[in-house]
């Protein structure tokens, strides 16, 4: 369908329909305030980008009631054994993969619990293949390969609201009976995609017209971070504001684990290291052992009985 060299007569009518659809999107508008961007100074360009970025958090804040509904939906289904699947193309797909990848080391989750799926496959994480967003043939394959079914949660990511790969994933998920969430940066009243929850931060036209890797991507990144972090907190992955389920996979994370034990148990460095060794590197277990003066087996039983919430283990309000 593209108009590359030698293809100028190919399928002009479908392209015209897509052009007309895209031309109606806020995310594709050209903001006249930036019509002289190409001749602006470096400092002016940076200030303009920064000023527009500052608007994103306000747009996201307006969507908190809908983000909260999404968190509740995710939690309800994860407690039944559900997993999270992000579907997106281009920048949106990469953001889903990024959020999924961070959940394992940060919260100690199974790598399969949160997964990001990008149009075009792994190659498009590193090398753009924009046409991949139009190919929906892989959707049934991905569902079958990953055994996606209720109570798994399907989350579509599309700044423009029209990305075929993301929209088709939601349709397929709904047909399977999966709970669905759609995140887009166009007004809710203009979104004609069926989903259990719509999250629609309206960030307006981009400084570079149509470059949704800018404000739209920032909004999506913020929302995904809010979603996954809040879900993990409500699953007992934190004690106070400490990541007590993080995985000891690097020197930095080892040092962070020691620091968390020192802070929560109120002990010195050597004692924290000793507790972590006895706990097999598990921060949560080490904290309970240190605060309750119990052995590893008893600490693990106390954690299990409290559904992973350490404040419950310690009888705190």
Catalytic (active-site) positions: 102, 133
Q: What is the DSSP letter of 199?
A: E
Question: To 5 degrees, how large is the angle CA 104–CA 106–CA 110?
Answer: 20
Q: Which long-range contacts (CB under 8 A, 24 or more apart) does 239-244 make?
A: 239/264, 239/284, 239/287, 239/310, 239/311, 240/264, 240/311, 243/106, 243/107, 243/283, 244/283, 244/284, 244/287, 244/310
CA-CA-CA-CA dihedral for 142, 143, 147, 148, to nearest 10:
130
Alpha-carbon gap, residue 293 to 296, rounded angstroms: 10
Alpha helices by DSSP H, 235-268: 251-265
Nearest to residue 184, comparing CAs of 84, 102, 89?
89
In three-state secondary structure terms, 93 is: helix
Q: Give kind and range of the element (H or E) at residue 92.
A: helix 90-107
CA 70 to each of CA 3, 84, 107, 203: distance values in angstroms, whole numbers, following the listed order: 40, 12, 19, 20
Alpha-carbon gap, residue 84 to 74, rounded angstroms: 8
Alpha-carbon gap, residue 39 to 208, rounded angstroms: 13
């Amino acid at each position: 369908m593209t108009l590359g060299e030698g293809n100028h007569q190919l399928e002009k009518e479908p392209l015209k329909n897509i052009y007309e659809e895209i031309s109606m999107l806020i995310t594709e508008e050209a903001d006249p305030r930036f019509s002289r961007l190409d001749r602006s100074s470096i400092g002016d360009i940076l200030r303009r980008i920064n000023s527009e970025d500052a608007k994103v958090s306000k747009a996201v804040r307006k969507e908190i009631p809908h983000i909260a509904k999404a968190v509740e939906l995710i939690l309800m289904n994860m407690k039944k054994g559900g997993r999270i699947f992000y579907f997106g193309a281009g920048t949106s797909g990469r953001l889903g993969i990024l959020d999924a990848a961070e959940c394992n080391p940060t919260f100690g989750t199974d790598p399969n619990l949160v997964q990001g799926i990008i149009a075009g496959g792994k190659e498009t994480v590193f090398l753009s293949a924009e046409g991949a967003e139009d190919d929906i043939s892989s959707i049934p394959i991905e569902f079958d390969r990953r055994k996606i079914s209720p109570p798994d949660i399907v989350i579509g990511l599309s700044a423009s609201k029209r990305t075929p790969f993301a929209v088709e994933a939601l349709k397929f998920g709904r047909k399977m009976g999966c709970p669905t969430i759609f995140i887009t940066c166009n007004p809710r009243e203009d979104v004609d995609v069926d989903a259990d929850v719509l999250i629609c931060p309206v960030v307006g036209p981009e400084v570079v017209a149509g470059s949704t890797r800018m404000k739209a991507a920032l909004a999506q990144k913020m929302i995904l971070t809010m979603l996954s972090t809040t879900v993990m907190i409500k699953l007992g992955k934190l004690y106070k504001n400490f990541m007590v389920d993080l995985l000891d996979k690097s020197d930095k994370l080892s040092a962070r684990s020691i620091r968390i034990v020192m802070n929560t148990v109120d002990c010195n460095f050597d004692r924290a290291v000793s507790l972590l060794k006895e706990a097999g590197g598990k921060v949560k277990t080490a904290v309970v052992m240190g605060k309750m003066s119990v052995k590893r087996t008893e600490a693990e039983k106390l954690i299990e009985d409290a559904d992973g919430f350490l404040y419950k283990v310690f009888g705190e309000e």
